[in-house]
Amino acid sequence: MRNSIVIRPVEAVSRNTLKQLLKIEHACFPDPWSPAMFTVSGTEGIILAENPDGTAVGFACFQYFLNECHILNIAVLPEFRKQGIGQQLMEWMLTELKNAQEFYLEVRENNRAAISLYQALGFQPIGKRRSYYQDGETAIVMHKKKKPELFGQ
């Protein structure tokens, strides 16, 4: 086992969960999401990376509809990075969202750490969105298509 982190899907965003999500969000992004953006619904989900004592050190948010998953956000607290937690969050979405075959995400074109993580998991760049971020930075759109599982495997 790489670490003692547990990945847990959030059923409903409690006040305590929102506090933890915002703490991570503000530690990780210059243009953090507002509280209202952390929602869980039939098509939207959040997963937490938690220490054994239940404190969250990372999260990911996604939209999931039919066979497509759009990864909206992923973050790990700076002091917990480079321990495989980002990869664990990504792998949860790639394996636990059973019907999802196509995965999409946007990433800042200078975000070397995130791009390396996505490439290591088989994501490929498929286009760019110019001025996608508030500060004008371009986003790279990345995509991964899962291989269909063969019957009996």
118 in active site: yes
Is 94 exposed, middle or buried, given 0-12, 13-18 or 19+ CB atoms closer than 10 A?
middle
In the set 106, 109, 133, 149, the catalytic residue is 106
Distances (CA, A) of 101 to 8, 50, 144: 21, 26, 8
For ligand COA, the closer of residues 7 and 74 by Cβ is 74
Q: Smallest distance from the beta carbon of 148 to ligand COA, in angstroms?
A: 26
- Write each residue from 59 to 98 as x if it is in contact with ligand COA (CB under 6 A), else as -, in one continuous string: ---------------xxx----xxxxxxx-----------
CA distance 80 to 39: 24
CA distance 77 to 85: 10
Q: Which residues of the shown chain bind ligand COA in the complex (CB under 6 A)?
A: 28, 74-76, 81-87, 107, 111-114, 116-117, 120
